Amino acid sequence: MKSRSRLIFVGFLASFLLSSCGGGSSSNGSQSFVAGNGTVTFKSVDARKAAPSLSGRTLDGGSYSTTAGRITVVNVWASWCAPCRAEAPALASLSQSYPKVSFVGILTRDNESTARAFVKRFSLPYPTLVDDSVLLGFQGSLSANAIPTTVIIDKNGRLAARISGEITVASLRDLIDRVSSE
């Protein structure tokens, strides 16, 4: 029964994400989605919830597992998403500027060959998980409510902040610095 409940929940979440993101193609071949407006949500230390364990197969065929004791920046993206393409160079640069911070992507609603071309085009130096079911673990706190969404996990493994929509270098740098100084 527990397995059935999980399947129902996963089905509900998938339906919600697909309906809220449009999921269809327009006549010009682009996909529609819910685009965030860059809204930043920051949780005080005492209001944070535990982040889900992030692990699984990566786009390059390897595996990834969250590193305990490190701040982690999680970016939910898709290659067809225009704001994802716009923010990719900033994310690549920031991941190089913060070597003590883990960066990881989560691919959603995309195919792997197109996503690999995206990673190559933008020289993304960090791994990307290909099983977006890990997004279920963010429910009830700082869930991925737009494509793209970027979440910051503090060094104690708690959800600290979220940017709904395209990041800016200034906004993400500020969040990383705030969480790092705690």
Q: How confident is the model at residue 57 (pLDDT cuts 50, 70, 90)?
A: very high
Q: What tens digit of pLDDT does each residue of 3-18 get?
A: 444 444 444 344 334 3
Q: Does 159 or 22 have the greater pLDDT score?
A: 159
With contact defined as beta carbons under 8 Å apart, do 24 and 15 qualify? no
Q: What percent of the chain has pLDDT over 70?
A: 80
Q: Which pLDDT does position 36 carry in this prediction?
A: 64
Q: How confident is the model at residue 37 (pLDDT cuts 50, 70, 90)?
A: confident
Q: Which pLDDT does position 11 carry in this prediction?
A: 43
DSSP letter at 27?
Answer: T
Q: Does 24 or 101 have the greater pLDDT score?
A: 101
Question: In a 3-state reduction of DSSP, which class is residue 83?
Answer: helix
Q: Which pLDDT does position 29 carry in this prediction?
A: 31
What residues contact 34, with CB distance under 8 A and at least 6 apart?
20, 21, 22, 145, 146, 147
- At residue 20, does pLDDT exceed 80? no
Q: Which pLDDT does position 7 carry in this prediction?
A: 41
CA distance 157 to 71: 8
Q: Does 38 or 73 have the greater pLDDT score?
A: 73
Q: What tens digit of pLDDT does each residue of 131-161 get?
A: 888 888 888 778 788 899 999 999 999 999 9
Q: How confident is the model at residue 179 (pLDDT cuts 50, 70, 90)?
A: very high
Over residues 47-68, the mean pLDDT reads 93
Q: What percent of the chain has pLDDT over 90?
A: 66
Listed by start position, the domains of the chain span 2-180
Looking at CATH, the fold of the domain delimited by 2-180 is given as Glutaredoxin (3.40.30)
Q: Which pLDDT does position 35 carry in this prediction?
A: 55
Q: How confident is the model at residue 168 (pLDDT cuts 50, 70, 90)?
A: very high
Q: What is the DSSP string of 108-169?
A: -SS-HHHHHHHHHHHT--S-EES-GGGGGGGTTSS---SSSEEEEE-TTSBEEEEEES---H
Q: Which residues pair with 105 in a beta bridge?
A: 75, 128
